[in-house]
Homo-oligomer: A and B are copies of this chain.
Amino acid sequence: MSLHPFYLRNITEMSLAHVLLTSLIEKPSTGFELARRFDRSMGFFWNATHQQIYRELSGMQKKGWISTLEDAQNTGRKKTYQVEQLGRIELADWMVKQGQPAQLREEIMVRLRAEAQLGGNSVLPELERHLELHKENLEIYQHIFSKDFEHSDDNDRTLYIHKMILQLGIDLELGWIQWLEKVIPQLQKFAQQQ
C-alpha cells in the first residue's frame, strides 16, 4: 500500500523518461537504437542500460506518452516508438522545473581519501588508469566535435546547444586530466622519498 494517495505524491524526477522523450522527438526509434545512441552523444551526461530503457519505454507507453509505430514491414519483435501529444506536454512541463546540480559520486576520490588515512601508494596505479580513461573519453568527444560541429553554424540554435553540451563534456574531461597530471607526479615523489 502506498503511503500517499497519488494526488499528494511528490513529482519524481524521472530524467531518464525525459531523455528518451527528447531522443524520440528527434527520431522515432526502437529501444535498441536508443540504447546505441546513448553510447554516443547523450551518454556522457545521462547513460542507461538497455534494461532500464525497455522498462521505461513500456511505462511511458502505458501512460500514453508514446506509442508504437505500426510499420509496414513489422517483422520480428522490433517495436518502433514515437512521441504522442501527451508526451510532448509532459516534456514541456518537466523542462521548466527546477533541480539541483548533480551530486558527485567518485569512487576513486573515496579510495584516495582512504589512502590518505591508511598510507601506502596503492591508489597511484588506479589514478594513472583513470588518467588514461579520461584521455580516451576526451579523444572520443573531440572526434565527435570536429566531425559534427567544427564548422557548424552558431546561429542555428539547436545545433549550438548540442555543440555546447559536447563542449561541457570536453571541458570536464580536460579538468580531470589537468588535475590528475598535477597530482600523480607529486604522489610519485612521495613514493620515492620512502
Contacts and interface: CB of A to CB of B under 8 A. Distances in A.
Q: For the side of the interface on A, what is the size category?
A: 35 or more
Contacts of A175: 171-172, 174-175
Contacts of A114: 18, 21-22, 91, 94-95
Contacts of A165: 109, 112-113
A122 interface: yes
A118 B88 contact: yes
Given A98-B126, A123-B95, A161-B112, A104 B44 contact: yes
Given A134-B101, A175-B171, A123 B96 contact: yes
Interface of A: 13, 15, 18-19, 21-22, 25-26, 42, 44-47, 88, 91-92, 94-120, 122-123, 126, 129-130, 133-134, 137, 154, 157-158, 160-162, 164-165, 167-169, 171-172, 174-176, 178-179, 182-183, 186-187, 190
